[in-house]
Amino acid sequence: MTDHTLIFGHRGAPFDFPENSLAGFKYALAHHIDGLEFDVHLSKDQIPVVIHDETLDRTTNGSGRVHDYTLKQLRNFHLANGEPIPTLKEVLSLLAGQNVYANLEFKTNKIHYPQIEEIVLQMVKETNLVHPMIYSSFDLQTLRNCRQIDPHQNYNFLSSHRIFHPEKTIKKEGLSGLHLKHYQSAGIIQRVWTVNDEHKAKLLLQHGITGIITDDFEKITRLRDQFEKKTQLITN
């Protein structure tokens, strides 16, 4: 990892493009984003697809649960810009060989898909990523399953609540860090979501946060760059 705070596009670039869309990911990559965050479910035929919700209703013209459809059936639905729901393979193809970090969230806290960990880890392993994938989930069991398959990857627990004794949690679960809704003043690797407010972002930068996950990566990246430039002037 890097010493400075990395800025991650939350589901791509959702202020300008549909969330978790190839168009949003391509835009972010073309504008030199530090990292991309995206979500993964499994189709009925166990193909990893990139979509946030367990259901199609909010982000596509379809309805019902993602895992009730095969990939071929899912391709009949589209996002607001007309694109189909992307597969994980398509997103990984965009990331291959790119100097960009990626945060893959297993969306298993409501529905656990059998074998999702094995399928996803193998697919990522076969991709030529410049930086190791950053995995996260609200479901600790998913992360435990991942560690049994490959204990050497970057696993992070997601929580919208305060974690008591975060260092102990990280050590006990064999995690790399935490992905939190609110910053915790502890000497741990943590990335905070979803930060769109400049004041909150500045406070996190002052704390030397590992990463910021935001809907507006261009604004927060400019803020980060200005902060680092100012800090360098002061220290020099």
Catalytic member of 10, 41, 67, 179: 10
CB atoms closer than 10 angstroms to residue 163: 18
Catalytic residue of the set 41, 52, 67, 179: 52
Instruction: Establish whether 52 is a catalytic residue.
Output: yes
Rounded to an integer, what distance in angstroms lies between the CA atom of residue 74 and that of residue 51? 11
* Beta bridge pairs of residue 36: 9, 102
Element (H, E) at 93: helix 88-95
Residue whose C-alpha is closest to residue 133's, from 224, 3, 8, 4: 8
Annotated active-site residue 10? The verdict is: yes
Query: Which of 124, 127, 150 lies closest to 40, judged by CA?
Result: 124
The set of catalytic residues is 10, 52
